[in-house]
Amino acid sequence: MAEFGKVVIFGVGLIGGSFALALKSARAVEEVVGFGRRPASLREAQDLGIIDRAGINPAHELEDADLVLVATPVGQMPDLFAQIAPYIGPHTVVTDGGSTKCDVTQAAYAAFGDRVAQFVPSHPIAGAENSGAAASRSDLYQGRKVVVTPLPENQDEALDRVKRAWSLCGADIYELSPEQHDRVFAAVSHLPHVLAFALVKDLAERPDAALFFDFAASGFRDFTRIAGSHPEMWRDICLANRTALLEEIEAYQAQLNDIKAALARHNGEHLEQSFNVAREARRAWGHRQK
Amino acid sequence: MAEFGKVVIFGVGLIGGSFALALKSARAVEEVVGFGRRPASLREAQDLGIIDRAGINPAHELEDADLVLVATPVGQMPDLFAQIAPYIGPHTVVTDGGSTKCDVTQAAYAAFGDRVAQFVPSHPIAGAENSGAAASRSDLYQGRKVVVTPLPENQDEALDRVKRAWSLCGADIYELSPEQHDRVFAAVSHLPHVLAFALVKDLAERPDAALFFDFAASGFRDFTRIAGSHPEMWRDICLANRTALLEEIEAYQAQLNDIKAALARHNGEHLEQSFNVAREARRAWGHRQK
C-alpha cells in the first residue's frame, strides 16, 4: 500500500505537477486529483499522467484526502484557503508551495481557524524559467531545498507528513520561522528579481535602447536572466512580501549610495575594498555550491 | 610573408595573450614581443608560445613595430602611454584593449601629442572570469564584438590596420564615438557589476550572513556571477568611466525608487506593468543572441 492515499493538488503547474510526478515516481501515492482554473490545463495534466483525474467540486474531494498541496500563485491563496477550509477531513493535512510565508500563514489562520493545526506552510526552492503542467518533472525537487515554516499549532504528525512528502520528492528539508523565511528570501530572491527588472526596464525605455542592447554581453545576460520571469507571479510575490522587501530595498539603496559616494569622491580604495568584500563572499558561496 | 611584422604587447594577460595567440594562429604575425610588470608572467607567456620573447627596454622595441597593443588595466595606461610615446616609429600604430574610451583617449592626446594620429582606441568585448596569460585562448575573440572609437586625427591606414588585426582574431568590428561607447558600457556592463557587488556586500556584512547565503539559489547565482570579478580591475574601470557611470547609477536609482513607491502604495498594476516591460525586452534580446 502506498504511503499516501489521496493527494489533492490545487494549481497543477510546474510546482504542483512536479510534486505529483515525484510522488508517483516514488510509488508513494494511490491517487492524485487536480484542480485548476483552466480545464484545458487539467486535461493536459491528465494526459501527461501527472494527475489521475481532474476534480469537479472540492466539497467532494477533501474529506478523505491525506494531503492537499496548494500550488497556486500566492495572491490566490487567501480565497482558495477559504474555499477549501470547510471541507477538509479530520485527518487531512494541507500545505502550500508559496514563495512567501508570513502572508500565507496569516491567510491560513483566517481561513482554517481552529483547524489551522492541519495547515503546514512550506516553500520548495525550485523555480525554473518554464512554467505550466507540461514543464513538470519528477526530478524537479531532487537535491533541492524545501523550507517548512511550522505553526505553533502544528502537531508532529501533520508536520512529519508534509516533511515526508517533500523528502519522497528528493528534497532536503529545512525549518525556519515564517518571519525568518520571508526576510531571507526577500534578500536572496525577491530583491535580485526587482533589481534585474529595474535594470532592463531602465534600458528598454530609452529612445536609443537598441544601441545599448546591441553591446550587452555575457555579464548582462546572466545578471538579467531573472528579468525574464513571470510578471504576474512576481507582482504577487512582491506584494505578498512587501514589508520585508521594502526593508531589503532600503538596505540595498544604502549600499548603492555608499558606492556612488565613493565614486563621486574618486575614492578608489573604498571602491576596491567594497568590491573585494563582495568577491570574497561570492567566491566562498560558489565553492560551497559545488 | 605575414601581414604584420613585429607586434608588441604591453600586459600579456587574457586580453593581450589571446590577441597574440589569435594572430599567430592566423599566421598573421612574424614576431610578438611582450612587456609586463611581472617577469614570471612573461616567462610563462613565452613558455606557452604566446610571445616569442620578453622585451627588456621599450626604447629598443617600438621603432620597428607595426602594431602595439596596450592591454594593461586602464588605470596604468596614462603612464604607459607617456613611457612609450617617445619611441614609436613613424610607421607604428598603437591601440589598446581598455574597457573605457574617453579617459584612454584623453591620456593618448596627452602622451602622444602631435603623433596621436598613430593611436586608434579599441575595446574587445570579451571578458572572462579567468585572467592571466595562462587563460589566453586563440579563439577568445571569435565571433565577439570589438568596438573601435576612432579619433578625428586617425588616417584610414592606421584605422584599417587596427580593424584588420581584430578581424584576423575573428572579431566583428563596430565603430562608436568614445562618448557613445562609454555611455553604452556604463549602462550594460559597469552598472550591472556595481549592482551585483552591492548586493553581495549587503548580505556579506550581516551578522547572520550564513543564513542568507544558505538559501540563495540559481537566480542569485546568475545575478551575482559578475560580483566574482576582479576588484582592482573594476575599481579602475569605475573610476575611468566615473561620469557616465554616475549618470547611470542615478537613472537606475530613479527606476528602483519608482518600483519601491509602487510597492509601498500596494500598486500591483504598476509593478506588473514595469516587470512586463522588462520581461518583454529581456526576452526579445535573448532571442536575438541565439
DSSP-H helix ranges across A94-230: 102-112, 156-168, 178-185, 191-204, 209-214, 218-223
Each residue of B98-119: pLDDT tens digit?
A: 999 999 999 999 999 999 999 9
Q: What is the pTM of this model?
A: 0.89
Best to test chain B binding among A214, A221, A273, A279 (most B CBs inside 10 Å): A279
* Radius of gyration for chain A, computed over Cα atoms and rounded to the nearest angstrom: 21
- Domains of chain B with bracketed CATH: 4-175 (3.40.50.720), 180-289 (1.10.3660.10)
Per the DSSP assignment, residues forming a β-bridge with B124 are B146
CB contact under 8 A, B215 and A188: yes
Predicted confidence pLDDT, tens digits, chain A (290 residues): 799 999 999 999 999 999 999 999 999 999 999 999 999 999 999 999 999 999 999 999 999 999 999 999 888 999 999 999 999 999 999 999 999 999 999 999 999 999 999 999 999 998 655 678 889 999 999 999 999 999 999 999 999 999 999 999 999 999 999 999 999 999 999 999 999 999 999 999 999 999 999 999 989 999 999 999 999 989 999 999 999 999 999 999 999 999 999 999 999 999 999 999 999 999 999 999 86
Question: Which chain A residues have a beta carbon less than 8 Å from that of B236?
Answer: 268
ipTM for the whole complex: 0.90
- For B271, which of A235, A255, A266 is closest by C-beta distance? A235
CB contact under 8 A, B199 and A195: yes
Q: How far is B220 from chain A (nearest CA, A)?
A: 6
CB contact under 8 A, B191 and A198: no
User: Do the Cβ atoms of B118 and B36 come closer than 8 Å?
Assistant: no
- For B278, which of A197, A232, A252 is closest by C-beta distance? A197
In this structure, what is the dihedral angle of CA atoms A119, A123, A126, A128, given to the nearest 10 degrees?
90
Cα A47 to Cα B9: distance, rounded to the nearest angstrom: 63
CB atoms within 10 A of CB B254: 11
Cα B263 to Cα A13: distance, rounded to the nearest angstrom: 27
Cell 502604495 locates to B265
